[in-house]
Structure 1
Amino acid sequence: MMRQTQIDEINKAVKSCKRYPSLSVQDDMKNWTNVELNTSLSFGSMRKTTTAMIKNIQQELEKLASIGNSCLYDGGHNQEVADSPKRFDVFGIVLGLNNLTTGKSYWEVEVNNKAGWDLGVARGSADRKGRLMLCPDNGYWVLVHYEEENYAAMTAPPIRLSLEEKPKKVGVFVDYEENLLSFYNVMTQSHIYSFTECSFRDEIYPYFSPHFKQDETNYEALVISTA
């Protein structure tokens, strides 16, 4: 487990991120090309802090993952399965087996060169039926990669993110007591995005979506591990 001073460092760094918005979002999010990005403000001077944060998490945090060294992918065909309240009926979404109700958890997901994926956490009581609106108010804290090069944090409205490099492996860090969910590019040891002041309230589960396979694209698996 991490020492209290290191936990305080993480929380201080993440809270500082809120004072440096990296983009502005227009009301109409249907056409993502209309989103204006302000790249003059970024994490800049925080790079050393976030690098140290990543190292501390990787080296000293007790890593608790819901699925260890598992692969998740779309097989390209539908399966007839029995319906249940816990099953998603429209989107290709999977929740981890272990619920998170306290403490800190960290897992890594190899996304490689996939054209699309979702990663994050979901409240156990969140609706799983129909065409879901993924946002914190509905119990979903999710980072989305879509259309090869685009990334967005699914807030309300969504925030489009500008990344310097396409991540091949994403680290997901949850601090339940601090109401914090953070995403990192593991290979470059850089911060991607943090959801802060999360109203988890009850149990949450790791959330994964490999997105649908399209012809011969996006067929690669998400590889989930405890790092």
Structure 2
Amino acid sequence: MASANSSWSEEDFSCSICLNVLDRPVSTPCGHIFCRPCIITFWEDQLEYKCSFCNEHFNRRPDLRVNTLFSEMVEQFKSSVQVKEQPCVVPGKVYCDVCTGTKLKAVTSCLECFISYCHTHLEPHQLVAHLKRHLLVDAMDGLEDRACKKHGRLLELFCQTDQVCVCQSCTEEDHKSHPVVPLKEEYEVKTAQLGKIEADVQQMIQERQQKIQEIRDTVDRSREVADREISDGLHVLTALMHRIEKWQDDLIQTVEEKLKSTEKEAKGLLKKLQQEVEDLTNRSSEVKQLSHTEDHLHLLQAFRSLKDPPPTRDWTTVEVRPPSYVGTLRRLLGQLEEMLNMEMKKLPDSELKRVQQYEVDVTLDPDTAHPHLILSEDGKQVHHGGVERKLQDSPKRFTRYLRVLGKQSFSSGRFYFEVQVKDKTGWWLGVARESVNRTGIVTSTPDNGYWNIFFYNNELKFNDNPAVRLPLRAELQKVGVFVDYDEGLVSFYDVEARVHLYSATGCIFTEPLHQYFSPGLHNAGENSPPLIISPVNQTD
């Protein structure tokens, strides 16, 4: 292995151009050795190729050769000098690449030589003519990254085809046919793009922060609702348990009192029976004793008192009947049922108040309305006009049945709306999938994308296959419709009576839902009142 003589000085390994220790040393055909960046930069400033040391001319740019042996000696010399002088370097600062002793802080970096200089070692760039033309900048780290790995020249251009930084030599070889621009020009373009990217990122951050807050608010509201639900439920159930415990005590007391009464009666009868048994037993003993006597006179005299049994009760009709508990439990269960019915009557009102909080503003979509339907200007009322109107064609329009959808659609969450149906003899209300058939003969059932109740011939039903008949306590005036998209739930309410009418559960929603209305035929005026979308009044 080559070794550097310890008696050699820095001058023996210096470049004749930059006067510094050789950096990536290469030799010319004439045998002189230079720093690779220095000789390449030197030739760029010359009209013809020659050796900067002996001025030998070359017909073309010569191939620079790496002297492996000499390169190893240079590296060993650098190492030996660094070990000997133990230069002091503080991380985080840029130091002169030329200093061999204690490293001085660099003041300038050369983008041609890719070396950082202190004030002292910068002098050649201030004195030598061709070095004066080098591009100097404030001292910076990572200069090697600014040089082309292939040609060793400054990366000063940008290839727009490959989107990479290139040097001038690259444009004459691999990127010859590609459009290139100065780095500064592309820098301005990319800076402008970064501005937009930053704006987009900030917008995305804000949207996600809003969503985070929205989710947190939802969780907080859900926790409040859950706490309230638990509190209300525990209040009702606790009261119910206390009442059941009292009824349990009443049941035990009633049964025990009846049993005690029976036991007392039986005890009295048993006492009398035992007394009579004792009296009869005594009489039996007297009779037996008398029957064995041989005293004629004594037998005849005693016989009169013994011939009749002692006074006893006729027990043939006497019995102890077990107590009857029939009706005791039934009476208590009746009271429980009455109490549950009272609580059930309270439940729809509180339930309705909760779903009313999800009220949405609903307006009718005229582009979907059947030509026979008349909509109010504010889009809140619809009735059957009886005459087909000439309307603009729309692929959204119902042409077979008297139907119209709401403008608003929902693909998640919950929503609620109310519709006045007062004085009408027929109507349909609910929600429908966005893709429902608008022209064919299609019944409005869940299989076909409709979830609705209808009133016809004084009957209220949920429109299914088959239809589900619903109890109708009184004339409906206003109907509330609640949908929980994510839970697959559609519920209907009698708003005035505060009564739950029906809930379709387990519904599968895979696309947006719209509010669905059908006012029915006017029937010569009998069903002429409109369906009216009403604002929610939670004080009803």
TM-score normalised by L of structure 2? 0.34
Between Structure 1 and Structure 2, whose CA radius of gyration is higher?
2
Which residue in 1 is equivalent to 2:432?
122
SS in 1 for 2:345: helix
Mapped pair 1:134 → 2:134: no
SS in 2 for 1:99: strand
Distance 1:7 1:209 in 2: 37
Which residue in 2 is equivalent to 1:99?
409
Which residue in 2 is equivalent to 1:54?
352
Opposite residue 361 of structure 2, the aligned amino acid is A
Which residue in 1 is equivalent to 2:245?
none
User: Is the Cα–Cα contact under 8 Å of residues 445 and 451 in structure 2 kept in the other structure?
Assistant: yes
Which residue in 1 is equivalent to 2:521?
212
Q: Closer, same or farther in 2 for the Cα pair 1:190/1:197, shift >3 Å?
A: same
Q: Closer, same or farther in 2 for the Cα pair 1:187/1:87, shift >3 Å?
A: same
Taking the TM superposition and a 5 Å limit, the aligned residue runs for 1:1-227 are 3-4=221-222, 6=225, 44=341, 46-58=344-356, 61-67=357-363, 70-147=380-457, 149-227=458-536
Distance 1:57 1:199 in 2: 20
Higher relative contact order (CA 8 A, sep 6+): 1
Distance 2:347 2:419 in 1: 23
Distance 2:480 2:508 in 1: 21
Percent sequence identity is 38
Opposite residue 122 of structure 1, the aligned amino acid is A
When structure 1 is superposed on structure 2, of 157-166 and 206-215 the one drifting more is: 157-166
User: Is the Cα–Cα contact under 8 Å of residues 64 and 226 in structure 1 kept in the other structure?
Assistant: no
Q: Closer, same or farther in 2 for the Cα pair 1:210/1:54, shift >3 Å?
A: same
| Offset at residue 133 of structure 1 (A) | 1.5
Structure number with higher strand proportion? 1
Distance 1:168 1:109 in 2: 9
| Offset at residue 134 of structure 1 (A) | 1.5
TM-score normalised by L of structure 1? 0.77
| Offset at residue 82 of structure 1 (A) | 4.1
Q: Deviations over 1:136-175 (max 9, x none)?
A: 111100111112x111101111112121112100111111
When structure 1 is superposed on structure 2, of 203-212 and 66-75 the one drifting more is: 66-75
Deviating above 6 A after TM superposition, structure 1's stretches of 4 or more consecutive aligned residues are none
| Offset at residue 62 of structure 1 (A) | 3.5
Distance 1:162 1:187 in 2: 15
RMSD: 2.4
Instruction: Structure 2 unaligned segments of length 5 or more: list them.
Output: 1-217, 230-339, 364-377
User: Is the Cα–Cα contact under 8 Å of residues 62 and 105 in structure 1 kept in the other structure?
Assistant: yes
